[in-house]
Each structure stands twice: as C-alpha cells, then as structure tokens.
Homo-oligomer: A and B are copies of this chain.
Amino acid sequence: MRIEILCTGDEVLTGKIVNTNFSYMAQKLEDVGLSVHWGTTVGDDRESLLAAFKLAGERADAVIVNGGLGPTVDDLSQEIAAQAAGVELVLHEEWLEKMESFFTRRARTMPPNNRKQAMLPATAEMIDNPVGTACGFAMDIGKARFFFTPGVPRELRKMLEEQVIPRMLARSGAPASIHLKRFHSYGIGESHADQLLTGIEDLDPEGGVKLGFRAHYPQLETKLTVRGTDMNDVHRKLAPIAAEVKQRLGNFIIAEDDQTLEGVVLAALLAKQATLAVVETFTAGQIAARIAHLPTAEHVFRRGAVVRHFSELHNVFGLKSVALAGEMTEEATIAVAKAAREQTGASHALAVLIELDEGSDRIDLGGTIWIGIASPEGVDFRRSRILGGREWVRLGAVELGLDCLRRQLQGLPVVERIDFEKT
C-alpha cells in the first residue's frame, strides 16, 4: 500500500513550529509495518491544498491529511476536500450535537463559527475525536482513501492510533494483529547493537518479526515489530525473540516499552522504601531534574546538591578528612557519597563529580566522571571518561550516573564497559 502524509498550515510551512506530527505519524505507521512513501507540506492556501490533494490522490492508495479542521477561516481542509472530490459540504447533525454538548459540559456556549467544524463532504465517513471539536473523516479523492486528522498533537495521536491505523491496516490486508515491543538501552551504540542482534529476526521462521533501531544519544531504542493472526499468535512469536534480545543486550537494557530510566530508578527506590540524595557538579542539577519532579518522587527524593568546584563540597558536607581541593580521587568520591548519605539521612546517595578538560568547547573536549554510590549494601565506585564537547559530556554523565544507580538497585555490576567511554 502506497501511503502519503500531507501536512497543512502556515505555522508548519513557515517553520514557526517544528513538524513533529509528521515524524510521529511516520513512526507509528512504521511500527505497524506500514511505510510512508511521500510527504507534502502546504500552507492554508486554497490553490496549494487543491493541487496537493489531487496529486496525492493520483499517486497514493492512502493519504493522511493533518491540520485544517479548526473553526477559523484559514482552516480549509473540509472545503477543499469536497472541491477535490467534486461533492458538496453537508451539515453533520450528529457532530454538531456532539460539539454543543462538548461546550455545555464545560459550561460554555458554542461560538457560531464552530458550526463550520460539522460541515463535512457529502461522501465522508465521520471519524470520532473524543478529545476535541475537530471532526475527523475519511473519503476517496482520486484513487486514494484520504484520512483527515486534527493538527493538535493530542487529538491527532488518539485518532491515529485508535481510528486511522486500524482502518489502514484493514485496507492493506495486513495480518489482524501487530504489536511493537521496545527495549531502551544505554551504553551500546546502534551499529554495535545491530551486530549483537544479528540473525534475531530468523528465530521466527515465519518471518513475522522485524527488528529496528532509533538512536537518541545517550539512549538507544531497539524495536521488534511482530505480526500475527491474533494477539496469541503475536505473543507466541515474540516470547522467544524478546527473551533472546534480553539475553544479548543483557545489563544494558535500562527500560522497556513506555518505561524510562528515571522511572525505573524511582520505582526500584519506592519498592525498597528507599530515599535518595544526589550530589552533582557539571551536570548542574540535571540528574535531580530527571527524577525529583516525578509523581511519587516526593516520597523518595531527600536532597540534591549542586556545586561547580570540588572545594565547595567541603562546605556542603563538612568533609575535613579528605583533600578535595586538587584532583579528584576514588577515595574522595566515596567520601562524598558516604557523607551525602549520612548527612541527609537518605538510604542511597549518588555522587557524580566531573573534571572537565580545560579550554574552549570543541569536538574532542572531554570530561572525567567520578561516580560514587553509598547505600545500605556498601559503596560502589566507577570512573569513566567521555569525549565529544561540553554538551555531549554533560548528557552522557547524567545518563551514566542514573544508570549506575539503576544497576546498583537491580544488583547488577555498576562497572561494565560502555561504547561511549574512552577509558
């Protein structure tokens, strides 16, 4: 099935907003085994919209149109869709009533211009939007089935996943059930992971499992798209391959599916009824900022300390016994973590202390990262070095610090070589 995406709106065309809806839609389609073949962006302009609808209707089998369903005069999708298909706009009473009750429930009166949102092309099949007033719809233009979706990301996402993708899958003749399994890892580069997982797709002799990656430094997402006749079939195919992925990526897997690294760390701390203190230098508060604001973190997060000079750690923790003025040492790192634990009363203390190279920012500027974790089980230490400029070092150190804490909490080795470090 040849699929196109057509994004409309002056804000997208002028670059005033970055078009994240496009990549979102394309990824969601990829995840269920469908591929986008062509993307078009046009503004709120009658002539361009008509030309774009006609071109896509000649080339594609299915087209997702995004945007232009709002109540204002520059929202033109229904009008131009009707024109492109040579049909009239008709009032959709069902949607009008729905909008009126939408406003009534919010104790407001529906403005008259919202009525426009219930005007759909005569041949349109209505697609429900449970979270907004923009009515989605599907209709044929040329040889393609067009799916019209709202520009508001929250409304788009719900409609795409619950309404549009099932309709597209039905048309594509794809198997009835598709499932996306995701593994998030830290410490393995995309090509290394690709190599570690060689041949994994062949473990399903029926070819129902597809492997893919999405790298967003410092994390890597490994994706298994599984197709089957029903969900039982999908899970039967997925189970041995997911087990093999876990085996091969091992301790580097930090989270699965919708989990995050910080969410996994927080859950592990909550499960132990543990509390956390964090000491940071060049990461500048970013480690605390990943975890301390999350719901339920108020039960776990005890205290964070940020300094830019090791000597300041003396003042924070009264560390008279350890020389901190000069270079960092393993002994000093451990002393900081232990002092943070004792003085805050937290069960776990994470110290991430960074010696940044001298000089201005450059691609080979590096940082030496000293990590100490004090816990009821004792003390863990790790020293690492990351190159790649100030931001690269900072992002890497935030992730490395959180990942060392995850490993400690899960009883895994805190020291295990990662692809990004140069030691």
Contacts and interface: CB of A to CB of B under 8 A. Distances in A.
Interface of A: 7, 12-20, 22-28, 30, 35-43, 48, 52, 55, 214, 278, 280, 282-289, 291-293, 295, 297-298, 301-309, 312, 315-316, 344-345, 360-361, 390, 394
Contacts of A37: 13, 43, 48
B23 A18 contact: yes
B22 A41 contact: yes
Most buried by B among A23, A37, A42, A55: A23
Contacts of A43: 37
Most buried by B among A22, A27, A289, A302: A289
Contacts of A289: 283-286, 289
B293 A303 contact: no
B298 A293 contact: no
22 contacts: A14-B35, A17-B23, A18-B18, A19-B19, A22-B41, A37-B48, A38-B52, A39-B40, A39-B42, A41-B41, A283-B289, A284-B289, A285-B292, A285-B304, A293-B394, A295-B390, A302-B307, A303-B312, A304-B305, A305-B306, A306-B306, A315-B344
Nearest to A306: B304
A293 to B, nearest CB: 4
Contacts of A19: 18-19, 22-23
Copies in the complex: 2
A344 B314 CA distance: 11
A292 to B, nearest CB: 4
Contacts of A298: 308-309
Nearest to A361: B295
Contacts of A303: 305-307, 312, 315-316
A303 B23 CA distance: 40
Nearest to A312: B303
Nearest to A286: B289
Given A40-B38, A295-B361, A306 B282 contact: no
Contacts of A292: 284-285, 306, 308
Contact of A14 (B18, B30, B345): B30
Given A282-B293, A284-B297, 19 more contacts: A7-B39, A14-B26, A15-B25, A16-B23, A16-B214, A19-B19, A37-B43, A39-B39, A39-B41, A40-B40, A284-B285, A284-B301, A285-B285, A285-B292, A286-B289, A292-B308, A293-B390, A302-B312, A304-B307
B306 A285 contact: yes
A399 to B, nearest CB: 14
Contacts of A297: 284, 308
A136 B268 CA distance: 51
Contacts of A41: 22, 38-41
Contacts of A295: 360-361, 390
A420 to B, nearest CB: 19
A325 to B, nearest CB: 15
A25 B41 CA distance: 14
A395 B9 CA distance: 27
Contacts of A17: 23
A299 to B, nearest CB: 9
The 3 lowest CB-CB distance pairs between A and B, nearest first, are A15-B26, A285-B285, A39-B41
A43 B360 CA distance: 38
